[in-house]
Structure 1
Amino acid sequence: MTHKQFTFRTTKPEQKQNCSIVTIHNYYLQFSNDLNYTFSEYKGNSIHLLGNLFDYIRTNASNQELLDTLANQQSKEDFFKMLNTFYGEYVLIHATQESLIVLNDCCAQREVYYTEDYKDLASELHFISSTWEHPKNHAYYNSKLYDQKKLFIGTTTPDPSINHLSPNHYLDLLNKKTVRFFPFSKITPQSIDDVAKKAALMLKGYIKAIANRHPIILPVTGGFDSRLLFLASLPTECDYFVFQHDNMNESHYDIQIAKKLTHLFNKKLHVIEDGATDITSNKNNSFKTDYQEFIPGKVIINGNISEVARNFFNYIEPVSGIKLAVLNGFSTNNFVTNQYDQWLTKNQRLFETFGYNMLDMFYWEEKMSNWAARSKTENSKEGLEVMSPFNSRTLLELLLSTKRKDRDKYTSKLYQKIIENLATNHKTINGIPTNPDFERKKALFLKKIGLFQFYDEILLKARIMKRKI
């Protein structure tokens, strides 16, 4: 079994080297010993944690202390309410005499695959299916598009008998069904001032909690997410770096902005050169000595998942399966379109009733679980530990409680407010631009003349017209 992986099945596995086995009901949990495992039990409730939990308030709390808090909750509603406040990448197995459920973190960054009969679960598809590399499922999984992207669609996988657990759902193993547990209450609209104050507090707390257990490093770039995390990390011991790829010279805005930000706050910046554009690809020793000395043994803090609250798919209305497919880069495949239509049919009324935007939730439940999660899994297998403090349901819900027009990905008033809260007494930071690339400049110009949404819709229609049937 490779780094930080697990299986959970009804058949007893062979004991493997450097692995442990725990029995839960009639299931056997086997996990590699480098995957953090924590157990808590209280009045018939037992909870098994694979991975980590962090609290933005109790930043010194351990996995054991946080899990004990969860085990002490008196009802399922209280359990989820408490769990939602934590950040982490994890799988939880909650067992009582009458129930056995499995769920993962806010954006399903710790992956779970499961068979249709709910008897076999694992962190990697190949632990269950020996044939998935030669797909039996729909033509998409036998297409050049899949070969290029290597991304699963919705809950499907290349093996039609195996599913991928989506965010905001749990597996009810005894009743053999998948259950949505979020959202089930109406989101309360809030002002960007109130949200910014709370979000700044939460980000600082999550980063502090991570740093209390691990040495942390943070990439500094020209983006919004990077800036928020950089500012939130300032009260904590943290090292900073920027990658200078082959296609970047010293004048590249990422390099220049990183230097200005770190200089403004008297922080040392490590500029790491490499010979590849993919930071997860270390197999060919393409990274220079700086990388080998600086990265290993440390947790990388990144801004993935923040995009859920940044209108990544803009303002397309009405939403349809084909539009979602094109927006997500799968314009040539009917299977993808049909899957997204099914997702809409199942969820649109629920999300709209509770005040959530379909494009925001699509990014959360589709993009994050089938793109960011894959990246996290591959990073982990390469020995890279990447943590994303935005992976908190309470934090995302808080950010999504503001008006969409105030959290645009190009001109986010909300993120500017969070920056103001984090950069107290450093107003000069406002003079350092954010992502001054061509796409942002074009978007700002179109917004200024009132044609951004019109241009966006025309562009999408043109992409749909070119779609291969």
Structure 2
Amino acid sequence: MSDIWQPEYEFSEAGTESIRFRRQWVINEEDVTIGENWCHEPLCCGKWLHYHPDLIVEQCHFEEGRVFLLGLGIYPDRPRDRFVDMVAMKGGSPSDRLLGSIIDLAGMYVVIHVSQEEISLYTDPSAMMGVFHRNGQASSSPCLIPPLERDLHLDAVFPFGGANDWYPGSLCPFVGIKALIANHRLDLISGREVRFWPTQEIPKLDSEVSKETITALLRGSIEAYLNRGTVLLSLTGGRDSRVNLAAARSFVDRIHFFTIRTDRVKPCDLRVPAEFARIFPLDHRFVDAKPTPDWLRSLYDEISGGLAIGARRDILDGCLQIAGPDRIHVNGNLGAVTKSFFWDCRSPKRVKIGGLAKEFVSKPKPILAGVREWLDTVPKDLPPTTVYNLMYFEQRGGRWMGVGEN
């Protein structure tokens, strides 16, 4: 298993074109070359899909047009099944089959359905792969929808930059650009957005059944990722990555574990992974990250539109050392969004905007409006505890975590 730790990419400032907007995509009205070796697909209504060659793309034809899966989608309860196979199956209404295939799909992706006169985009469960859109254009990065102009009023009342800052609802710091809220479908031609899950009350499970179900889904996720490529699982001393390690216990002989090491990493985040690696044992390596060079940080910030902040920008050299075309990184975000289902909400009787916005240090009017916008999309009959969990899962998950993972 040691060959996995040999770098597959050698990049320098002189050869950055091949990783500019790596694994990104955009839909617009131009048949143009965006970057080196980018792929291009005509859609409908004069629209084109352009995507970076390293982006995983699956597509299929079915009764109601074409379907693209951009990114990696898996079925935790059916680890060997593939999305395009589920969509292409015969039987039942094609539209119901498409939606059913999406609702059960996990991972980091966007689904695009193209018919003769309509282009629909569906997010992944947490919108970990962002969908930004404006005037009939859509992209995984706001920087691929020019011209890009900062919303100076929003910047004035919400000086973005703290470790926990993010933008709720569809709010973006760029004039005219919106983020598609998780579990929504976007009709790209009309701009209409509709929630496709949840649309009604979620069946209630007791705590033990819930824990067993989540455990099975996490284990199934690890198995599904192993069926799709080489899995690298990052370890720290925190609970998030411990959740993932517990889910991976049955597969540790097939997984490569790593911990990025810098002089800013807390001692416990180095000591605990070393102990885990010794006890189980694990194929584990420490990856020493050098200070991020300006050219690499610039490429990263361009992809995220400057929305990814905090320590993630300081470990990019370590990430580049272990990058590879078929390597799948399972990180603490999976454990973090899973933990949201274990919140002690003390059986709240109603949903409060202040409770939904508790992660924000600064709460100016645009931020609270974004929170209310999200809340207005949620079915009214959901229990308050479910709404709080859904807020963490959809908003904290995609708008804060996901933007740093693209």
Task: Give the TM-score category using the shorter length.
Answer: 0.7 to 0.9
Question: Among 85, 88, 106, which residue is 1:68 paired with?
Answer: 88
The corresponding residue for 1:32 is: 52
Distance 1:131 1:192 in 2: 47
Letter in 2 for 1:309: F
Q: 1:335 to 1:314 in 2, by over 3 A?
A: farther
Q: 1:275 to 1:39 in 2, by over 3 A?
A: closer
**Residue 311 (structure 1) aligned with residue 343 (structure 2):** yes
Q: Is the 8 A contact 2:87 2:101 kept in 1?
A: no
**Residue 125 (structure 1) aligned with residue 142 (structure 2):** yes
Distance 1:312 1:356 in 2: 9
Q: Is the 8 A contact 1:38 1:50 kept in 2?
A: yes
Q: Is the 8 A contact 2:109 2:124 kept in 1?
A: yes
Q: 1:152 to 1:112 in 2, by over 3 A?
A: same
The corresponding residue for 1:15 is: 33
Q: Percent identity, aligned pairs only? A: 19
Q: 1:333 to 1:76 in 2, by over 3 A?
A: same
**Residue 361 (structure 1) aligned with residue 390 (structure 2):** yes
Q: Is the 8 A contact 2:63 2:94 kept in 1?
A: no
Q: Which range moved further: 218-227 or 102-111?
A: 218-227
Distance 1:58 1:67 in 2: 15
Distance 2:339 2:166 in 1: 19
The corresponding residue for 2:124 is: 105
Q: Is the 8 A contact 2:86 2:101 kept in 1?
A: no
The corresponding residue for 1:296 is: 323
Q: TM-score, normalised by structure 1?
A: 0.67
Distance 2:131 2:285 in 1: 36
**Residue 54 (structure 1) aligned with residue 74 (structure 2):** yes
Distance 1:322 1:354 in 2: 17
Letter in 2 for 1:261: F
How big is the shift at 1:75?
Answer: 4.5
Q: Is the 8 A contact 1:246 1:275 kept in 2?
A: no
The corresponding residue for 1:145 is: 159
The corresponding residue for 2:402 is: 373
Q: Which runs of 5+ in 2 are unaligned?
A: 1-19, 292-309
Report SS of the residue matched to 2:125. coil
Distance 1:274 1:312 in 2: 37
Q: Is the 8 A contact 1:321 1:338 kept in 2?
A: no
The corresponding residue for 2:250 is: 235
Letter in 2 for 1:375: G
How big is the shift at 1:310?
Answer: 3.3
Q: Which range moved further: 228-237 or 268-277?
A: 268-277
Report SS of the residue matched to 1:41. strand
* Residue correspondence of structure 1 range 187-202 to structure 2 within 5 A: 187-202=202-217
Deviation string, structure 1 residues 246-290 (Cα, Å, up to 9, x no partner): 3567xx44444334433332324334455679354356x5x5xxx
Report SS of the residue matched to 1:51. strand
Report SS of the residue matched to 1:146. coil
The corresponding residue for 1:5 is: 24
Structure number with bigger Rg? 1
The corresponding residue for 2:311 is: 278
Q: Is the 8 A contact 1:183 1:351 kept in 2?
A: no
Aligned residues: 359
Distance 2:404 2:347 in 1: 27
Deviation string, structure 1 residues 383-436 (Cα, Å, up to 9, x no partner): xxxxxxxxxxxxxxxxxxxxxxxxxxxxxxxxxxxxxxxxxxxxxxxxxxxxxx
Question: Among 206, 220, 239, which residue is 2:235 paired with?
Answer: 220
**Residue 210 (structure 1) aligned with residue 225 (structure 2):** yes
Distance 2:348 2:263 in 1: 36
The corresponding residue for 1:44 is: 64
Return structure 1 stretches of 4+ with deviation > 6 angstroms.
Answer: 312-317
Q: Which range moved further: 330-339 or 240-249?
A: 240-249
How big is the shift at 1:361?
Answer: 1.9
Distance 1:316 1:246 in 2: 42
Q: Is the 8 A contact 1:50 1:92 kept in 2?
A: yes
